[in-house]
Structure 1
Amino acid sequence: MAESVSAHFSVTLLPEDLEEWEDALATLESGRFAMWLESGRTPSMKFKPDESRGLWVSVHDGPSSGVSVSLPLFAPPEAWASEQRDLLARVREVYPREVVETSPGSYEWRRATNV
């Protein structure tokens, strides 16, 4: 019996989150288990490849609801990781340049001032 799940998580991505996603993609491309967003401030994701070229994806909302959901993706397309890299590049292109790390792990979005 399958149950239906509907959820929405607001997540603020920091620069290191984008770097960690790139690392997770490299790990997945090598056929190994990968995790993303494990900081504890957002829902986390786990990706576990299986023997049939499928991929189990788990999302855990530890910071808020404590809910975990796992689902199989049956054999993602060969170009899946490449498409994810393309999407990551697009995110990096539009990521605000005025994000400044004011102290370790603390960020501010500053508006550019016209001089």
Structure 2
Amino acid sequence: MAEEPIDLIRLEGGGNSVILRITGKEAGQGSDETDVLAGEFRVDTRFVRGGLRTWLFPEDLRQWQQALDKLDAGQDIAWREGTRAPWLFIERVEDDDRCRVTIRDHSMSLTTVTVTVPLTDAWFDEAYDRLDLIWKTWPLKED
């Protein structure tokens, strides 16, 4: 039986949301290929709504862990910048419990979307739990 989708990233509030929903694992081709996770970025606001398919490798998940640590320490982050995959930027809004989330698709649609959403302390515990759940649900074979 297929596993249910899991949201690796879920930032929402004030009528806006940015979600990275993981839909399953795709096995690498051959015995020496790396497994990947299939997913989709979903953006929903009163103004714009859309989705963008993406794939995540084990290194992407490790880098997301590092990005979460930096964000939790009060730093802005850039995740997957410089890769062929969609880039994700999260900038904290000074003196506020909000952040600006930007998704940039520089290879296919050539579109960039920025959304402002709340970023509370409770969000971080949930974000780490989501990452752990992804690793447990879909263990990835690395090359």
Q: Which TM-score band (shorter chain)?
A: 0.7 to 0.9
TM-score of the pair, normalised by structure 2? 0.63
Q: CA deviation at 1:39?
A: 4.3
Question: Distance in 2 between the 1:83 and 1:66 partners?
Answer: 31
Query: Is 2:96 the partner of 1:50?
Result: no
Fraction of identical pairs, as percent: 27
Q: CA deviation at 1:5?
A: 1.6
| Per-residue CA distance 1:18-57 (angstroms, 9 max, x = gap) | 0010001011111111011224221110000011131110
Query: Is 2:84 the partner of 1:21?
Result: no
Q: Where in structure 1 are there 5+ consecutive unaligned residues?
A: 102-115
1:105 corresponds to: none
Q: Is the 8 A contact 1:27 1:34 kept in 2?
A: yes
Q: CA deviation at 1:91?
A: 0.3
Q: Is the 8 A contact 2:58 2:142 kept in 1?
A: no
Question: Distance in 1 between the 2:133 and 2:79 partners?
Answer: 19
Instruction: Indicate the SS of the match to 1:71.
Output: strand
CA RMSD of aligned residues (A): 1.7
Name whichever structure is richer in strand by fraction.
2
1:73 partner letter: V
Query: Is 2:112 the partner of 1:68?
Result: yes
Question: Distance in 2 between the 1:70 and 1:14 partners?
Answer: 24
Task: Give 4+ residue runs of structure 1 displaced > 6 Å after superposition.
Answer: none
Q: Which has the higher contact order (CA 8 A, sep 6+)?
A: 2
1:9 corresponds to: 52
> Taking structure 1 as reference, are residues 66 and 53 closer, same or farther at Cα in structure 2, changes over 3 Å only?
same
Aligned residues: 98
> Taking structure 1 as reference, are residues 53 and 90 closer, same or farther at Cα in structure 2, changes over 3 Å only?
same
TM-score of the pair, normalised by structure 1? 0.77
Question: Distance in 1 between the 2:51 and 2:116 partners?
Answer: 19
Query: Is 2:75 the partner of 1:32?
Result: yes
